[in-house]
Amino acid sequence: MLGEKMLNALNKQVNNEMYSAYLYMSMSAYSTYIGLKGFANWFMVQYQEEMVHAMKIYDYINSQDGQVKLMAIAQPPTEFASPLDMFGKTLEHEKFITKCINDLVDLAMEEKDHATNIFLQWFVTEQIEEEANDNEVISKFKLVGESGNALLMIDKELAARQK
Ligand code: FEO
Protein backbone atom coordinates (compact mmCIF):
# COMPACT_ATOMS: atom_id res chain seq x y z
CA MET A 1 0.00 0.00 0.00
CA LEU A 2 1.45 3.33 -1.08
CA GLY A 3 0.75 6.66 0.61
CA GLU A 4 -0.53 9.41 -1.69
CA LYS A 5 2.71 11.40 -1.58
CA MET A 6 4.81 8.33 -2.40
CA LEU A 7 2.43 7.28 -5.19
CA ASN A 8 2.54 10.73 -6.80
CA ALA A 9 6.33 10.85 -6.57
CA LEU A 10 6.66 7.37 -8.14
CA ASN A 11 4.30 8.34 -10.96
CA LYS A 12 6.46 11.43 -11.57
CA GLN A 13 9.51 9.16 -11.75
CA VAL A 14 7.82 6.98 -14.39
CA ASN A 15 7.54 10.21 -16.38
CA ASN A 16 11.21 11.13 -15.71
CA GLU A 17 12.32 7.72 -16.97
CA MET A 18 10.08 8.01 -20.04
CA TYR A 19 11.61 11.43 -20.75
CA SER A 20 15.09 9.88 -20.36
CA ALA A 21 14.12 7.25 -22.95
CA TYR A 22 12.82 9.97 -25.27
CA LEU A 23 15.99 12.06 -24.81
CA TYR A 24 18.28 9.17 -25.72
CA MET A 25 16.07 8.16 -28.63
CA SER A 26 16.44 11.72 -29.91
CA MET A 27 20.23 11.50 -29.52
CA SER A 28 20.19 8.17 -31.36
CA ALA A 29 18.19 9.71 -34.21
CA TYR A 30 20.60 12.67 -34.40
CA SER A 31 23.61 10.33 -34.40
CA THR A 32 22.13 8.34 -37.29
CA TYR A 33 21.43 11.58 -39.15
CA ILE A 34 25.06 12.74 -38.89
CA GLY A 35 26.38 9.29 -39.88
CA LEU A 36 27.62 7.96 -36.53
CA LYS A 37 26.11 4.49 -36.34
CA GLY A 38 28.03 3.47 -33.21
CA PHE A 39 26.75 6.49 -31.28
CA ALA A 40 23.27 5.74 -32.59
CA ASN A 41 23.57 2.18 -31.25
CA TRP A 42 24.81 3.33 -27.82
CA PHE A 43 21.94 5.75 -27.39
CA MET A 44 19.36 3.24 -28.67
CA VAL A 45 20.57 0.69 -26.08
CA GLN A 46 20.32 3.45 -23.48
CA TYR A 47 16.77 4.22 -24.66
CA GLN A 48 15.87 0.55 -24.08
CA GLU A 49 17.38 0.66 -20.58
CA GLU A 50 15.29 3.69 -19.70
CA MET A 51 12.13 1.93 -20.86
CA VAL A 52 13.05 -0.95 -18.52
CA HIS A 53 13.49 1.57 -15.67
CA ALA A 54 10.10 3.15 -16.37
CA MET A 55 8.42 -0.27 -16.50
CA LYS A 56 10.04 -1.40 -13.24
CA ILE A 57 8.37 1.52 -11.44
CA TYR A 58 5.13 1.00 -13.38
CA ASP A 59 5.02 -2.66 -12.30
CA TYR A 60 5.93 -1.75 -8.71
CA ILE A 61 3.07 0.77 -8.45
CA ASN A 62 0.67 -1.88 -9.80
CA SER A 63 2.00 -4.51 -7.38
CA GLN A 64 1.27 -2.13 -4.50
CA ASP A 65 -2.30 -1.64 -5.68
CA GLY A 66 -1.58 1.94 -6.73
CA GLN A 67 -2.87 3.63 -9.87
CA VAL A 68 -0.33 4.42 -12.57
CA LYS A 69 -1.10 7.83 -14.04
CA LEU A 70 0.83 8.69 -17.17
CA MET A 71 1.80 12.30 -17.80
CA ALA A 72 2.82 14.23 -20.92
CA ILE A 73 6.41 13.63 -21.98
CA ALA A 74 8.32 16.86 -22.69
CA GLN A 75 9.93 17.34 -26.09
CA PRO A 76 13.64 16.48 -25.95
CA PRO A 77 16.30 18.57 -27.75
CA THR A 78 16.72 17.58 -31.39
CA GLU A 79 19.98 19.38 -32.25
CA PHE A 80 23.34 18.98 -30.55
CA ALA A 81 26.55 20.99 -30.87
CA SER A 82 28.73 17.87 -31.23
CA PRO A 83 28.91 14.17 -30.26
CA LEU A 84 30.74 15.18 -27.07
CA ASP A 85 27.92 17.66 -26.33
CA MET A 86 25.48 14.74 -26.36
CA PHE A 87 27.48 12.94 -23.69
CA GLY A 88 27.87 16.14 -21.64
CA LYS A 89 24.07 16.51 -21.70
CA THR A 90 23.63 12.79 -20.93
CA LEU A 91 25.82 13.01 -17.82
CA GLU A 92 24.07 16.20 -16.70
CA HIS A 93 20.69 14.47 -17.12
CA GLU A 94 21.81 11.35 -15.24
CA LYS A 95 22.99 13.52 -12.33
CA PHE A 96 19.47 14.98 -12.25
CA ILE A 97 17.99 11.46 -12.24
CA THR A 98 20.34 10.44 -9.41
CA LYS A 99 19.00 13.39 -7.40
CA CYS A 100 15.41 12.33 -8.17
CA ILE A 101 16.13 8.79 -6.93
CA ASN A 102 17.81 10.13 -3.77
CA ASP A 103 14.78 12.37 -3.13
CA LEU A 104 12.49 9.34 -3.55
CA VAL A 105 14.56 7.38 -1.01
CA ASP A 106 14.37 10.34 1.41
CA LEU A 107 10.59 10.41 1.00
CA ALA A 108 10.27 6.64 1.51
CA MET A 109 12.26 6.99 4.74
CA GLU A 110 10.19 9.95 5.92
CA GLU A 111 7.02 8.00 5.22
CA LYS A 112 8.45 4.87 6.87
CA ASP A 113 7.66 3.04 3.61
CA HIS A 114 10.19 0.21 3.94
CA ALA A 115 8.99 -1.73 0.87
CA THR A 116 9.49 1.27 -1.41
CA ASN A 117 12.81 2.04 0.20
CA ILE A 118 14.03 -1.50 -0.58
CA PHE A 119 12.58 -1.30 -4.11
CA LEU A 120 14.47 1.95 -4.74
CA GLN A 121 17.86 0.51 -3.72
CA TRP A 122 18.16 -1.12 -7.16
CA PHE A 123 17.91 2.35 -8.72
CA VAL A 124 20.48 3.81 -6.31
CA THR A 125 23.00 1.20 -7.51
CA GLU A 126 21.95 1.56 -11.14
CA GLN A 127 22.62 5.31 -11.08
CA ILE A 128 26.26 4.70 -10.11
CA GLU A 129 26.62 2.63 -13.29
CA GLU A 130 24.69 5.15 -15.40
CA GLU A 131 27.00 8.03 -14.46
CA ALA A 132 30.11 5.82 -14.77
CA ASN A 133 29.14 4.79 -18.33
CA ASP A 134 28.84 8.44 -19.37
CA ASN A 135 32.10 9.42 -17.68
CA GLU A 136 33.84 6.55 -19.47
CA VAL A 137 32.87 7.91 -22.89
CA ILE A 138 33.71 11.50 -21.90
CA SER A 139 37.16 10.27 -20.78
CA LYS A 140 37.71 8.72 -24.20
CA PHE A 141 37.05 12.11 -25.81
CA LYS A 142 39.54 13.70 -23.38
CA LEU A 143 42.14 11.11 -24.39
CA VAL A 144 41.78 11.17 -28.16
CA GLY A 145 39.99 14.45 -28.91
CA GLU A 146 37.12 15.15 -31.30
CA SER A 147 38.85 15.04 -34.69
CA GLY A 148 37.46 12.94 -37.55
CA ASN A 149 39.71 9.95 -36.83
CA ALA A 150 39.08 10.08 -33.09
CA LEU A 151 35.33 10.25 -33.66
CA LEU A 152 35.39 7.23 -35.95
CA MET A 153 37.41 5.29 -33.39
CA ILE A 154 34.97 6.11 -30.56
CA ASP A 155 32.05 5.37 -32.91
CA LYS A 156 33.46 1.89 -33.53
CA GLU A 157 33.71 1.24 -29.79
CA LEU A 158 30.19 2.48 -29.11
CA ALA A 159 28.87 0.19 -31.85
CA ALA A 160 29.80 -2.79 -29.64
CA ARG A 161 27.42 -1.88 -26.79
CA GLN A 162 24.69 -4.50 -26.38
CA LYS A 163 23.23 -3.64 -22.97
FE1 FEO B 1 16.86 5.61 -15.71
FE2 FEO B 1 19.38 6.72 -16.87
O3 FEO B 1 18.28 6.60 -15.41
Q: How far apart, in whole angstroms, are the C-alpha atoms of residue 128 and residue 60?
A: 21
Residues present in the chain in total: 163
Ligand 1 centre to CA of 76 (Å) is 15
Structural domain count of the chain:
1
- How many helices (H) and strands (E) the chain has is answered by 5, 0
Atom of ligand 1 nearest to the CA of 46: 2
Q: Which atom of ligand 1 is nearest to the CA of 93?
A: 2
| H or E element, residue 111 | none
**What pLDDT, on the 0 to 100 scale, is given for residue 24?**
98
Q: Is the pLDDT of residue 163 over 90?
A: no
Distance 144 CA to ligand 1 centre (A): 27
**Nearest atom within ligand 1 for CA of residue 16:** 1
131 Cα to the center of ligand 1, angstroms: 9
For residue 142, the domain's CATH number is 1.20.1260.10
pLDDT of the residue at 68: 98
Domain that includes residue 17, residue range: 4-159
pLDDT at residue 16 tops 90: yes
Q: CA-CA distances (angstroms) from residue 96 to 23, 90, 103, 135?
A: 13, 10, 11, 15
Query: What does the pLDDT read at residue 32?
Result: 98
- Segment 73-112, tens digit of pLDDT: 999 999 999 999 999 999 999 999 999 999 999 999 999 9
103-142 tens-digit pLDDT: 999 999 999 999 999 999 999 999 999 999 999 999 999 9
Mean per-residue pLDDT for 144-150? Answer: 94
Q: Is the pLDDT of residue 5 over 90?
A: yes
User: At 67, phi and psi to the nearest 5?
Assistant: -100, 120
Ligand 1 neighbour 20 (Cβ under 6 A): yes
Taking the alpha carbons at both ends of the chain, their separation in whole angstroms is: 33
Q: What is the pLDDT of residues 42-61, one digit of tens each?
A: 999 999 999 999 999 999 99
Which whole-number Å values give the CA distances from 122 to 11, 87, 147, in the listed order?
17, 24, 38
